[in-house]
Structure formats: structure tokens, C-alpha cells
A and B are shown apart, each in its own frame.
Chain A
Amino acid sequence: MRFPAGSLVGVILAAGLATTAMGQSPGGSIQGAVRSQTGAPVEAATIAIVGTRYGTASRADGRYSIAGVAPGTYTVRATRLGFAAREQQVVVGAGAVAQADFELKSAAVALEQVVVVGYGTQSRRDVTGSVASVSNTDIATMPVPRVDQAIAGLVSGVQVQTVNAQPGAQLRIRVRGGNSLQGSNEPLVVVDGVIGADLNQINPNDIESVDVLKDASATAIYGARGANGVILVTTQRGRPGEMRFEYSGYTGVQDPSKHIDLLSADEFARMYMRNPNRDKSVSFDTTATLPTTDWQNQTYRSAPMQDHEIRISGTTGGTALMAGASLFQQQGIVTNSQFNRGSARFNLDQTLGRRVKAGTRLTYSRSVEKDVRVNDGYGSAGGPITMMALRFAPTIPVYATDGSFSGPLLASQTMDNPLAIANLREDRNTTNYLLGNLFATVELMKDVDFRSSVSYTSRGTLGQGYNSRLLRQFLGQGQATINNADNQTALFENTITGRHALGRSEFTALGGVTAQETKRSGSNETGTGFATDALGYRRLNLAELVTGGSSSSRDRLLSFLGRVNYGYAGKYLLTASFRGDGASKFAENNKWAYFPSFAAAWRVSDEEAFKRLLPVVSELKLRGGWGRTGSEAISAYQSLASWAIGSPYVIGKSRFNNGANPSRNSNPNLRWETTAQRDVGFDMGLVDNRISLTFDAYKKTTTDLLYNKQVPYYTGYDQYVTNIGSVENHGMEFGLDTRQTLGRIDVRLGGNLSFNRSKVLDLGGDKEFFLDGVNGSLPNFRPAAIVRVGEPLGNFFGYVWDGIFQNAAEAAASGQSDAKPGAMKLKDLNGDGKIDASDRTILGNAQPKYTFGQTGTFAYRAVSLSYLLRGVQGNKVVNLNRQGMETPGSDVNALRNTLDYWSPTNPTNSMTGMGIGPFGAMSSRWVEDGSFVRLQNVTLGWEVPPRLTSRANLSGVRLYASGQNLATWTKYSWYDPEASSRGVSDLDLGWDDSSYPGVRTFTLGLNLGF
């Protein structure tokens, strides 16, 4: 099937020809100023002449003017987020200037706010589901490269976690916890209606608003992709008013937020020499003073970042235009890590006569990410840089006498000098991203609109890597890799919206059909055996052996959707929605799935009796809803049996690379994951709407979970994907926003608090299954995590550490295989007199008990100060880093707590004896409290008064200084408690295995309007 794109063009053209050009006649004008209660000018207030398309926005000095208004009497309306809307009557005479000034009152409840919901918008007043909105003004104060980073801590029920602080890395976002075991729990991202956009490639300063759909009544319109919540990003359209040119930019510096306390060279040498089992090929003179190499200081750095943007925005005639370009550059605090992004945007909205509106949202970006090796184990491959920066012996100078990077302490150690890793290894990823959307809305008849939209997303990535011949991973060989991936998605959506009023009843109905196709293709080449490091990946042909491969897949979705909103007297609101999704990736008998939802709301505060009884409650809406949503959770072809191609084999002295291996059995019954969710809540405004309070309670049950279930190895496989079991999430969310005036200071204080609990209800008959958690780095740590019925997701699993064996008798009696005085003692949980697999238990959970955010903004005249505190409480993190650094007298550097090692004369229970390493399997020793409270952002801004800038023909000049991640209060002992080395999955959450250090940032910024 092909998209009939031609027909769409036809629709637009036909409509355009059928209309006549708008007549323009000379008239009067309206002008005025918008101020707040404190008298401060209000910028960017929308001034609209009700019932016409005339309008503009106030400038930085609060002033506005609208020209070309035909003589007559009008209602002029001023609206601005954070203020109550105001209207006044204005009489405009021919050629006259009418004055209309507004004083806006702060309001935390924004009933008029336009909320973006799936396939349409609603006013906040009419929303029946749980939808949170973050406007551009809330996030503009934070100089961060990603939209999702900017909303961290601002929205209840939404957890945004920096699992990897490396520039350009993906964030982990959860809306009301994770439903899926195996599949992605990341919310669906929709940018200007384009489903599945990449937030890393969207410039946050292009954003108008971010709306988060949380409950099923709101997300069910996204059907099979709605289960994880939906983040709707709307980019700015051309601002009302004349075209203006703007510059904005910032520059900043980043530093590691923490330094791990390790042994100095002297301490290291003394400890080493005390170890009776040390390698005697190396020895130290413990009476001499040794210079210390602080490998952390050598490897980490102060790193600059900067952002520059230009933008033109405005409206002339029927055309609204927003076009801009930006350049963002961020060096990483680990030497040789970097993220650069250039992007351009073109947003056009064109009125074509009275019936047709058409427009485009087009953005292109190119990013280059240079990564360093982190989040990895050790093995014989040299190790990640963040491990070597800690473990390399402090007695070794950075460079050897011949100028090369020094090797490890012992010739037998397969460790790389961290600076060698930084300088001799390249890992470069380039992404070219195009997201384009062309749409037209046609008024078929009064109150009936047809909308057609064609979107195209193209994402091309090029990975280029080289490992030097001098690094352990490919010692003496060198290896270069090239990876190309090309993803293209076409989305064709057609919807019809109708509105009808009947007495006090109002109906809105939406119906639509959409089709989406995604094609992925990729290729990779690997060259191994380089005679010289000179060219690296730039000339793969230099390699002794070049191997390559390619891949290709296609998946398609076909959907029908509909929604009906009914309101009676604006007080009683009902919403019902439905979506049917068909997907190619599921087996023939399970291609289609259907997702309904229902919601109702009662605006209690509109009842006269209520107004009389509780005048302090200025607004109260009770909401309740239920819906079913889905998750695709798997990639294409997972239901089909497969032989994988490409393993190496040798016949005689000939090597072949096309060996075939069975990789998957067929599963004709694979189907969607389905999540049913109930939500009840209320929105409340108090004291003239100066205080806004939102509450939601929800319960989600996910069934038919897709999971790569582990199977015994004797089957010839290690796992297979199947629909097993069920998981439940329930929780509560509170949101608070207040706006008030203290003297001449505008004060805005807000906060949010979210609780979520997950529970595994069923695992397809199994009681539990185990997870590796540790990847290949510590094979004897497997299994290290468990999913068990009745327990939450994210449980760590292993032995319980119970101190240190104090004497030989205790060791002999323990039944523990490696027992000896000074060794780690484990708890014999079942009391059978020996330590074995049955003594393992759940050691803690990686999911937080609650998360919160607290914001404040204080504005005095042109100066404003804002902050954001963010907290995560009650979660555990496994600090695998310590595991290799707590052997007293080791040949790698160790933590300073090893100085207090056990000995018969120092009978501690917290550190093993000299030369004795930790127990070789997963234990509670490495499980730490990951709770933290973080001062995420503080920004001090100054709107330069117009009298200082107007002479330079500038307006809207703003200067600000900002700090990110300024302080973290936590018991966690490593770099950053948010780090999660296995990525964003909920099953592998909370493993810190050589993570990238946390980053503290200071920036200075400037906005200019011309």
C-alpha cells in the first residue's frame, strides 16, 4: 500500500482556489499595556479581539498594539499563563487609536489554558483525564539540552532520571511506574502530532508546551502505544504580532560533582607491602615518600558548554512563522566525551481563505556524540575509563619515561591507563534527524473540520569507532567499527472533528484513520588487525580482516480511532474514546487489539449551592476514568522462528563468517501487552484560584506481559519471548501551585509528590525468575536479581553479609566454602549449617518509594530568582564499583576504608583482612541506599528595563545565571545515586557499574530581541 500523498495536495489546492483573498480596509487601532498586580510589565500576554482573528502579544515592556481594526465595538481579551484572563470593551473609531490597559491578577489555576490532548486540544476547564502541562515559561529558565531534562521534578507522577550523565545519553522517564518487564516503559513521545519522535534531537527552546497524558482515559486514544503515558510536545508557532528577530544563548562550565576518596601512593604502597600474597615482582620502599597520581583529576576535567540560537517569529496577514537555528556544544567532564547538536526549525501556519488552514512543522538536526567507555565490566578487555580512573595504582606516573602512557602496576594486569583509554579510543555517533509534518484543516461545514496530516521522520545514524592497538581490548590488533542505521517512518493521519450544541448540552466528536510504516535498515563493518593506528576507522581497508553485515526490517500499524466529549451546562463532563490497532509484528491470529476508555468529571464549584457553602474553594472538579491501553514491547519478527547468520567457522585453514545458528523458536501466539487503568482525582482552586491543588489516585494492571523468559540451557536456548503474567502499579500524586504577592514581590511556590508501588501478580505459573543484572563483568554474581510473584519489580537478590570471620573456629563452623579468619561471613538464612544457593534472599529494591519536586520563583520588578529541589526516596542501588576496590593490600587502588582492615588485633566486622577479597557472589554488602534530595536548579534572572535597551533598538533583553545540580544530599557512596549502568530498563535498574560521574553546571545566559 502506498500513501496517496497526491490526494492530500489536491485537498489543499482545491480548498485554496475555492476561497477569495481576504479584504483589508483601513481602520483604527488598539494599544495598551499589560501589567501585573505589582505593576511589573507582563511579557508575552496574548491580546485577542474576541470573535476575530486579530491579536498580538505583549512585548517585554508589557505594551502591545493592534493595527488595521475596522471601526466598531469590540471585546478585547488578555490572557497569560499564571494569571486570570481579563476582558474589556473597546470602541474603535476610523483612524483613531483606542487605549486598553490590563492589570492581570496572579492565578495558579488556569482554566483557560489550552491543553493538548491526543488528536486535538481542550481547555483546561473541560479536561476529564489526568493531564499535566508544563509551559515554555516553566522550562525556559533551565539551560539544558533536552526537553525531558527540563521537566524533571516539575510534574507529579513523572520520574525523569539521568541514568547516564554522559553528554547525549538517553534519560529514563517513567509515567506512573513501569508496566512492562521486557518492553520499553518509556512514555510515547509525540512532537506536533508526530508519534515516536526523538527528544534528543528537539531543541528545548523551540518548545511551546509539554503536556503529559497520565491516565488511561487520556492515553487510550493512542491505543497500543499509550500504556506508558504520552508526552505531547508542541513547538512554538509564529507569535501573534509583528515579526521579531531574537538571539538567545548561554555559556557554562561543568565539573564532576564528587571525588571518590582513594588511597594515596604512600598508603597504597604500605598496604601492598603488608599483603603476604602480593605479587613479589613489584615492591615498594615504604619509608620513602611517593608522589601520588590522582587518576580522577587526570581523567576528569572542567568542561565547557554553550548554546547559541537565532529565531524569527511573528504573524503577518494569514501567515504565522517561527523559524530558527541553534547550535549546542557540550564537552563532557570525562576527557574525550562530547555532544554537539545543530538544529533548524521552520514552523509555518497559513490561513487559506475561510475554510482552510494549512501548515508545516519541520525540523532538522544533526548531532555528534563522542562517547567514552563507561558502564561496563572488567574482564580481560582493559576496562571502562571510569573504572580505570579509580583502580589504576596511584604510584604510577601518567607517562612512562619514553613518553607513552604508563602500563599497569603488574605486567599480568589486563588494565589500560585511563588516559590511554581517553586518548586512544574513539566512539563517535552522528545522527541526522529530519522530522517533517505537513497538515491541512478544512472546514467541511460549520463546526465540522477535516484534518489530514502527513509526517515523515528520517533518522540516520553513523557510528564510528576505533580501539587502538595499544589498548587491551584488541591488543596488538586494533579494531575499527562502522555502523550505519537508517530508520524511516511515514505516518498518514486523517481525522474529522465535529462540534454540536443542543440546549445546554455540547458534543464534540472525533473520528480518524491512521497508517504508519517504519523501515529500518542497517549495516556494519568491523576491521581487525591494523598494522598502524594512524588511520583508524577512517580507512577500514587497512585492517587485516574486514567483516560486515546488514539488517533490514519493516513494521506497520493501521489504526481507527474515535472520541466523544459531552458536556452539560459546562458542569457535567463525559469522555469516551476508542482505538483499534493492527500491527504487523504480531502473529496472524493476534494482529488486532482494541482500546476503549471512559471518563467523567463534575465541576462541583459551578453548582450555586457549593459556591454559597464554600466560597474559599473557587474551583473544584472531581474526575474519574477507566481505560485500556497497550504496549508493543517487542521488535519486528519476534513471533517467527529464525536461524541467525554470521558466526565464524574454520575448515582446514580457511575461515568463513557465515555460520548459521538457530536463534529463535516460533511463537504463533505472541500478542500485545494490555494495561487497564483506573484513575480518580480532583482539581481544586482555593482563595480566588491563587492556590491550585491536584490529586490523583490510580491503579494499573498490565496483563499478557511480553518477556524474554529464561529457559534452561539444555534446551539449546537461553531465553524466549512470550506473554507471561501480570504486573500491577498503584499510586497517588499530589500537585500544588501557589501564586501570591508579598509586598512588591511576586511569589510562586509549587510542589509535587508521587507514590508508586508495583507488584508482580502472576508469572504464567512460575513463582519467580532470576535476572543477571551484572552482565558479563562478574559472572559468578549471577543471578543477582529476582522477579517474584507478590513482590515489586527491581528486587536485588543474593547472600546476606554478616560481618567478618573473627577466628578459625568460627570459620570452620560456618559451612561456607571460602571461610577463613578475615573473610566475609554470610548469613546461613535457612540454618542448615552451610552456605549455599538456598541462603540467598531479596536484598532490596531499586524502585523509589516516593519522588517529589519543589519549585519556587521570586520576582521583584525585573529580577527573578527561581529554584527546583528534586528528591527520590527509598530506593536501593547496587554499588558494584566497590566490589573491586575493597580488597586490603590489593594490586589495584582501593577505597580508604580498606586501611581499617580486619586483623586479629583489629576485630572489625566491616572490612576483610589483609589480602582477602570480598565473597565472589552477589551479597548485601554492595546494596546501598539510593535516596537523595537534589538542588537541581537555581536561576537568577534580570529583565533589563526597556529604557536601558530601547536606545540600542533592543527589546526583551534578559540576563541570567544558572546552576544545575548544585548540591545533592544522599548516603550513596559513589558518584551519583541516579546512575544506572544497565540503561533504562526497569528490570536492570539500580546497578552502578563504572558509571559516568555526576555533573554540576554553572551557566550564564543572554536573550536579546531586535
Chain B
Amino acid sequence: MTLRRFAAGAAIALALGGCSSYLAETPEDFLTPTSFPTTENDLKIALGGIDNWYTGGSNQAYYIRGWPMISEVPNEQTILINATTGSKYEVDRYVNLPDNEWLWRTWAQMYGAIGQANLLIKRIPDMQGVPQAVKDRYLGAAKFHRALNHFNAVRVWGDVPLITEPITDFGTAGDVKRSPQAEVYAAIAADLEDAAKLLPVKWPDSATPDDGRPTRGAALTMLADVYANMSGSIIKQNKWAQAAAAAKAVIDSKAYTLVPNFADLWLVNNKNGPEHIYSIQFQGLIRNLFTSQSRPSGIGAESGINYWCTTPEFMDTFLDTDKRKAPTFLTQVTVGTTTFFYDTRGSVKGFGDKTPLFPKPLPYYGKFYDNGGQSIALNSGRSDLNWPVYRYAETLLLYAEAENETAGPANAYAAINLVRARAGMPALAGLTQAQFRDAVRQERSWELAFESKRLFDLKRWGLYETVVGNDPVSKVGWKPNKIWLAIPQRELDLNPGLTQNPGY
């Protein structure tokens, strides 16, 4: 019967005709590692994607606020003023538990960036059809990012997992252990030595050395910092000569100069200037939240979120003649015709509507204030200010410190005095090695205030216990040996082979 044969034929044809090809799956809307990255443009977006760990994802990427929360807030120069509980309070007062959100958020993002860098480091050397110079630049950049994130992690948590290969088998991922700090530092230094050779002084399509992409100057400055840390009280390896050499290479490159007026450095219009070596970039809707959290509220159009203050004691360490003092501290604000002062003077009310939570008036950060530069209120409480990771003044101070440790102060004065001269401070001369050491440490405290340097400086100088342990604010939850933050509880839950730091 024709009808039956036809129907049965249709069914069988459907069933057997190209069964296997019918079920084949080809990606329609995403790229796969087998084909990406392949071109120079692919590399551009793959490197750009690393920014997502620093500044992406609404509020949570780690340079938007998480990084200063764990690297600046716990020191003696910054105080949380508007809360007596919560995750921010916990990091400031050292009462944080291992499940504190800033710990796992920053940890996750650092290792996210490391994982992405690992994929690129593995793939770039095998890429075909991309010029070697291009491959070098991107390979150098990926190594820089891997180093930066390992460096951040090792300074915050001490021994941390050292991840140098892409993890493709989650089955064995639980075998990872915390590597000793010395090993982590060695890997960081190796990455940066490579990066310094591979990276350009500035990218071919960039007008300034700093446009947010890693450069040779950035790699070398970080390398100097890394060697200084390795030479410090924790790792105790003498790498001062290497530190000095790395910093000197930056100085000798003549790619950077100090901005003549210290106050100009901090204006949003002057970002990526001649002094900036490496900055986390904020622009448009990727905005910096920490800068407005360290800004007073209750001052009309210039109001910020009012979380972080600094202390009068720290402000008093500055000489009044120091040109850095006024830009570093916000003590008065004029909005329209009203001038607000940080402490109550006569009939004029002090600013910051949460100030009463802290028993005494406190000055605010001045560096990230940028009065009238941008409307904080119109930018969801954020600003386009970059987050400075390295600037030339630090390179000079690293050089001065390392040179003094290597060979005494003789050849170290020039660098530190450049920084001091810009601040209107008299030149140093005739110091012993120990006096010079103290001077450069003091200079770092003044020059680099609120730039997430202090905490790590105290650690490598062996002063952490003394300074933080005696800070009345930190003392709330401080315990001896609590020099390292807690490994996030989630990591311990998922990998019982990891150990917790002391004090938690």
C-alpha cells in the first residue's frame, strides 16, 4: 500500500538520515580556548579582560574597594568611623572572621586574574601568525599580572597557593597546598624579570607610559618592591642590590618625572601623567568607590559615603612646611559659600554626619578628594580617579632605600632629595646608614600615605607588631602574631589540606 510505505519511509528517513550530524554541537555565541586567542586583537581583549578582576562587576571587583579594605584599612593611619559592626568594621578592628567578605572577594579575584594570566602565558608562545614583538608584549603583560596578584596575596596572607599553570582538571585542584612565602616570592621575581625584558617602555598606541597596561617601568618598579620585601624581616634574603638595580633601571630609562606640584598629582584630569607608572584605570561607568567612601558626607554636592578617616596623630607627623600636608589631609571644605571644618570651630559644624560615632574629630583623606573635579553625587557615589599602584616617587624612594641598604647613603641622597624637594623639604645630607634608613621610612609614610603601602612596609620593616599592636583602634581585636589575614573559610572548607593563619 503506497500510503503505508510512504509514511514508514518518511519516519525511517528521519530517524536514520544523518543521525550523528544531527546531534553534533557547535558553539554559536562564545569562543573556545581551542580557537581563542588567535590574533593580536584577540590578545587585546583577553588582556583587557584581566581588568574585570580589578574593576568589573559593579561593586565587587577588588580594586573598586576590596583591596584598600584589606591593605590600607587595617593599618594605624586609617579608621572606619561610621559603624560598630559589619565586615568593614571587622577588618579595621581586627575582629574579622575567616568568612569576612573582603577576604574571599579579594582572594577570588586575585586568583581569577592569575588563572587568566596562566592561560595566556601558556598559549601565547604557541600562537602562529602574530609578530614576535606583539607576542612579547602580551606575554610580558600576562606575567606582570600573575606577579602582581601573587605579590598582593603573599603580602596579605603569607604562605599562599602558587598557581603557575592553568587548572583544567578540577579533580586534582584540591591537592594544592600553601607554598612557603620564599617560593612564592621567587616565582614573582622570575615573572617580573621576564616581564621587564618582554614589555615595552610604553605601548605603541599609547601617548603616556601609563595607560593601565603593564610596561617595563611598571615591571621593574614592582621588581624593586618585591626584592625589598624579600630582603625584609619576614623573608630575610638579602636582595637589596637587585632591588636597587631594578629601581635604577627605571630611573635611567628617563621615562618618568615627578609632577612639580604634589597637589596636581591627585586631580582626575591629571591621571596617567608623567609620574604615574602603573595605575588601575577608572573611567566612565567603571568607577572607583573607595575614593568616595573616604570622603565626608553632609557637605552638600561634594558629599561622599563617609566610611574612612585618618588620624590627627598621623597628620601631626607632617611638618607644616611640607607641601604634601594640605593635599594629603582634608580638614576643611568650602561648598558654595559655606566652609566646613573637620573639627568644630565656633559656630560652624564639623562635617561628616557619622563623626559622633568616633569619640574625636578626624581628618579625611585629601588625596582622593579632587574638589569639584567630578560630581560624586551624579556618579552613584564614585569617581573616575585612578588607583595608583606605582608612581615614580616610590621608585625613587625604593632606590634610595635599597641603595642605602646595599652600600650606605652616599649614592642614595639624590633620589630621596628629589622627592623631598618637590615637597618643599630640605635636602638630606650627612646621615649614617641607620639614620638614612629611618629617614627613608619616614619619607615613605609621608609620600605614600593611603596608597596601600604602609601595612606592607611595616611588615617588611619588622614594625608591624609594635605599630599595629599598639594602635588603639586595631587593638580592639588584635592578637599577637595576627600579622596575616585569615585564609577565606570557603577555601578551607573546599580544601581541608589548606591551613589557617594563627589568631583565627
Report which B residues bind A (CB closer than 8 A).
1-4, 6-8, 10-15, 17-19, 21-25, 27-34, 36-37, 42, 45-46, 48-52, 55-57, 59, 82, 84-87, 90, 95, 97-101, 104-105, 107-108, 111-112, 114-116, 118-119, 160-161, 163, 166-168, 170, 173-174, 176, 206-208, 211-213, 272, 281-286, 297-298, 303, 305-306, 353-354, 356-357, 375, 377-381, 477, 488-495, 498, 504
Contacts and interface: CB of A to CB of B under 8 A. Distances in A.
A666 B34 CA distance: 10
B95 A837 contact: no
B283 A513 contact: no
A782 B108 CA distance: 14
Contacts of A444: 1, 3-4, 7
Interface of A: 1, 3-4, 7-8, 10-11, 14-15, 18, 277, 279-281, 379-380, 410-412, 442, 444-445, 450, 452, 474-477, 492, 494, 496, 512-513, 515, 528-529, 545, 550-556, 558, 560, 582-585, 591, 636-637, 639-645, 647-656, 658-663, 665-666, 709-718, 720, 722, 769-770, 779-780, 782-783, 817-818, 836-837, 917, 920-921
Contact of B170 (A18, A528, A639, A709): A709
Contacts of B176: 712, 714
B477 to A, nearest CB: 7
A447 to B, nearest CB: 14
Given A412-B306, A650-B281, A715-B111, A279 B353 contact: yes
B167 A649 contact: no
Contacts of B174: 712
B25 A584 contact: yes
Contacts of B59: 379-380
Contact of B32 (A280, A640, A648, A713): A640
A411, A584, A649: residue with the most chain B Cβ atoms closer than 10 Å:
A649
A551, A718, A837: residue with the most chain B Cβ atoms closer than 10 Å:
A837
Nearest to A717: B115
B122 to A, nearest CB: 12
Contacts of B498: 712
A921 B27 CA distance: 42
B493 A475 contact: no
A713 B95 contact: no
Contact of B283 (A4, A653, A659): A653
B7 A450 contact: yes
A722 B173 CA distance: 14
17 contacts: A1-B14, A412-B305, A412-B354, A442-B7, A475-B381, A494-B14, A558-B23, A582-B19, A641-B32, A643-B46, A650-B55, A651-B48, A652-B208, A712-B494, A712-B498, A713-B104, A917-B85
A653 B170 CA distance: 38
* 9 tightest A-B CB contacts, nearest first: A716-B115, A779-B101, A649-B48, A647-B52, A659-B49, A649-B51, A650-B281, A652-B211, A713-B108
A584 to B, nearest CB: 5
Nearest to B211: A652
Nearest to B11: A494
B4 A529 contact: no
B357 to A, nearest CB: 7
B86 A920 contact: yes
B7 A452 contact: yes
Given A412-B297, A552-B29, A653-B283, A713 B490 contact: yes
B501 to A, nearest CB: 13
Contacts of A644: 30
A561 to B, nearest CB: 11
Contacts of B286: 648-650, 655
Contacts of B282: 650
A718 B105 CA distance: 11
Nearest to A15: B3
A543 to B, nearest CB: 10
Contacts of A442: 3, 7
Contact of B6 (A10, A279, A555): A10
B99 A642 contact: no
Contact of B31 (A591, A660, A710, A921): A660
A553 B28 contact: yes
B340 to A, nearest CB: 14
A7, A551, A780: residue with the most chain B Cβ atoms closer than 10 Å:
A780
A445 B104 CA distance: 70
A769 B490 CA distance: 10
B23 A584 contact: yes
A666 B18 CA distance: 26
A494 B7 CA distance: 9
A651 B14 contact: no
Contact of B14 (A4, A379, A640, A659): A4
B504 A836 contact: yes
Nearest to A582: B23
A435 B238 CA distance: 75
Contacts of A713: 104, 107-108, 111-112, 488, 490-491
A412 B112 CA distance: 33
A380 B382 CA distance: 12
A411 B56 contact: no
Nearest to B95: A817
Contacts of B494: 710-712, 769
Contacts of A585: 25
B52 A779 contact: no
B212 A513 contact: no
Contacts of B378: 476-477
A648 B55 CA distance: 8
A576 B403 CA distance: 86
A643 B36 CA distance: 8
Given A650-B282, A660-B46, A711-B494, A665 B52 contact: no
B29 A553 contact: yes
Contacts of A662: 33, 115-116, 119
Contacts of B87: 779-780, 920
Contacts of B95: 817-818
Contacts of A712: 161, 173-174, 176, 490-491, 494-495, 498
B111 A716 contact: yes
Given A643-B36, A713-B108, A782-B490, A651 B29 contact: no
B49 A591 contact: no
Given A712-B491, A714-B111, A921-B99, A14 B3 contact: yes
A412 B82 contact: yes
Contacts of B115: 662, 715-717
A660 B36 contact: yes
Contacts of A647: 48-49, 51-52, 56-57
A642 B111 CA distance: 18
Nearest to B494: A712
Contacts of A477: 378-380
A641 B15 CA distance: 30
A648 B52 contact: yes
Nearest to B208: A652
Nearest to B98: A837
Contact of B17 (A1, A551, A555, A652): A1
B490 A716 contact: no
Contacts of B52: 647-649, 659, 661
B181 to A, nearest CB: 16
B49 A651 contact: no
B13, B59, B283: residue with the most chain A Cβ atoms closer than 10 Å:
B283
A714 B176 CA distance: 9
Given A4-B13, A712-B173, A714-B111, A770 B380 contact: no
Contacts of A410: 353
Contact of B29 (A551, A665, A722): A551
Contacts of A512: 11
Contacts of B354: 279, 281, 412
A663 B56 CA distance: 15
A655 B59 CA distance: 17
Contact of A7 (B10, B19, B25, B84): B10
B353 to A, nearest CB: 4
Contacts of B3: 11, 14-15, 18, 442, 444
